[in-house]
């Protein structure tokens, strides 16, 4: 557990901080420079930020990456882009891109957005999250997360010294489930709920009645909702409702998206926030302070991508559904029991039954087979016995990667794999965290 900020600052002022392991991890051999560091940096979750489980390095050419954060290719034709010659683009984003975002939500779920006031262009969905956290979260504020969730949610909240409250969640037949009592307890006194739908990494989709429940509880406790819909295009069943269309969404829901996952255009680093203009305005102010002006040429490319009709995406979705089913079946044949996701680009695979935790499994698989998967510990307290396996790569590398993974699992079962670390139990919940007690309920609502 990290030192309290006040104690860290005292150690920095007295010069004693240079003797602490945390200071050496934070500043390397430059601990004398700690006196210049801001509170945000001193309180940052440095262990996680330096942990390859949370922030992995790019894989080498001989590695099969079954943990890509996004598709690596795109069929979108971007045409000729000019970038403009008028200096910096508008702080809130190019009018053509904001209009394309508003038009897209209107087509998807009949949402009415004013592109001039209700849409903010950001540096990817990560930039959207950063702008929202900076706009609304103070040190000590309660931020509610489903467990498991994107590592960026917890890292972003903790780096702002928020009090993270976890709500356990799981997937049944592609549907995201959660214990209603634990969720309601976590939401009392909370400032912001961060969620993604479909979920990352488990791929569970929130059913309409669960979304109604989320909206009702958020309204009852006056909690803002940040809804990341980066994977919304990758639903293998009916789309259903969107968080941004629910009752009261015009007062408290911000929707984030990007062209990184939907269109395989991660190099552009273009995303957006959409929602009530007064909330979007605050996010625009914090973005202008931290990271203004998404490059105009990248915004033009994103606008081109968003202008493509969704009908052209159907064959791509069919191929991804086939890859999902293929990967699921191959993992089951290897003796693993992943849930079949209802959306997204990943399988959430339990490995504790092999006598390994997720980190040990991922490290040994990488070392012995040159295959990379995501250690579950990066996705929340309950992920220690899981790994994340992606299926959005090309067919050949997916087949080879899964074949190597299956061979590794077979060696582990037969006791011929290299020695492993013991299975780690999930870390105990921090004080005030919401946890479920007893068996999982049959239904996600009371």
Within the chain, which residue ranges are assigned CATH 3.90.1150.10? 64-73+313-413
**Rounded CA separation 89/66 (Å):** 37
Residue 157 · residue 190 · CB < 8 Å: no
Query: Which tens digit of pLDDT belongs to each residue from 155-190?
Result: 999 999 999 999 999 999 999 999 999 999 999 999
Query: Which tens digit of pLDDT belongs to each residue from 356-410?
Result: 999 999 999 999 999 999 999 999 999 999 999 999 988 999 999 999 999 999 9
Query: Which tens digit of pLDDT belongs to each residue from 182-228?
Result: 999 999 999 999 999 999 999 999 999 999 999 999 999 999 999 99
- pLDDT above 70 covers a percentage of the chain that reads 87
User: What pLDDT, on a 0 to 100 scale, did the predictor assign at position 84?
Assistant: 57
DSSP 5: H
User: Which residues on neighbouring strands pair with residue 224, listed in sequence order?
Assistant: 192
User: Rg of the chain's alpha carbons, rounded to an integer?
Assistant: 22
**Torsion sign across C-alpha atoms 121, 108, 313, 348:** positive
Coil vs helix vs strand at 258: strand
User: Which residues on neighbouring strands pair with residue 168, listed in sequence order?
Assistant: 147
For residue 262, give every residue at least 6 positions away whose Cβ sits within 8 Å of its Cβ, in sequence order, or none. Answer: 230, 232, 233, 305
Within the chain, which residue ranges are assigned CATH 3.40.640.10? 95-310
User: What pLDDT, on a 0 to 100 scale, did the predictor assign at position 22?
Assistant: 78
What CATH number belongs to 95-310?
A: 3.40.640.10
CATH architecture, domain 64-73+313-413? Alpha-Beta Complex (3.90)
Angle at 139 between CA 133 and CA 141, to 5 degrees: 75
Residue 371 · residue 262 · CB < 8 Å: no
């Amino acid at each position: 557990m990290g030192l309290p900020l006040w104690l860290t600052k005292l150690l920095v002022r007295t010069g004693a901080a240079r003797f602490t392991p945390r200071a050496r991890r934070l500043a390397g051999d430059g601990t004398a420079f700690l006196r210049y560091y801001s509170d945000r940096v001193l309180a940052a979750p440095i262990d996680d930020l330096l942990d390859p489980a949370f922030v992995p390095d790019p894989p080498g050419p001989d590695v099969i990456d079954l943990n890509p954060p996004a598709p690596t290719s795109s069929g979108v034709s971007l045409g000729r882009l000019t970038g403009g010659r008028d200096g910096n683009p508008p702080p809130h984003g190019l009018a053509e891109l904001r209009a394309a975002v508003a038009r897209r939500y209107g087509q998807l779920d009949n949402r009415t957005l004013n592109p001039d006031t209700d849409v903010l262009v950001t540096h990817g969905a990560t930039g959207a999250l950063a702008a929202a956290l900076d706009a609304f979260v103070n040190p000590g504020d309660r931020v509610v997360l489903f467990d498991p969730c994107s590592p960026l949610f917890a890292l972003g909240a903790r780096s702002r010294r928020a009090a993270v409250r976890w709500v356990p969640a799981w997937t049944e037949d592609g549907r995201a489930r959660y214990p209603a009592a634990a969720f309601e307890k976590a939401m009392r006194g909370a400032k912001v709920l961060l969620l993604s739908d479909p979920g990352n990494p488990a791929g569970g989709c929130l059913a309409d009645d669960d979304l109604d429940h989320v909206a009702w509880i958020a309204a009852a406790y006056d909690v803002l909702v940040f809804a990341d819909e980066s994977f919304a295009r990758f639903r293998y069943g009916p789309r259903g409702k969107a968080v941004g269309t629910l009752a009261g969404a015009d007062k408290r829901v911000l929707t984030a998206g990007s062209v990184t996952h939907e269109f395989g255009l991660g190099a552009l680093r273009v995303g957006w926030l959409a929602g009530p203009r007064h909330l979007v305005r605050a996010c625009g102010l914090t973005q202008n302070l931290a990271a203004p002006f998404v490059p105009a040429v990248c915004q033009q490319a994103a606008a081109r991508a968003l202008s493509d009709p969704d009908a052209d995406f159907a064959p791509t979705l069919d191929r991804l559904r086939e890859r999902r089913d293929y990967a699921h079946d191959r993992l089951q044949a290897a003796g693993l029991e992943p849930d079949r996701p209802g959306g997204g680009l990943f399988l959430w695979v339990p490995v504790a039954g092999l006598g390994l935790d997720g980190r040990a499994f991922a490290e040994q698989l990488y070392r012995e087979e040159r295959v990379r998967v995501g250690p579950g510990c990066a996705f929340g307290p309950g992920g220690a016995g899981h790994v994340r396996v992606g299926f959005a790569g090309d067919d050949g590398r997916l087949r080879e990667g899964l074949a190597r993974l299956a061979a590794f699992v077979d060696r582990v079962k037969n006791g011929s794999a290299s020695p492993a670390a013991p299975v780690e139990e999930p870390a105990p919940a921090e004080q005030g965290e919401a946890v479920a007690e007893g068996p999982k309920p049959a239904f996600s609502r009371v």
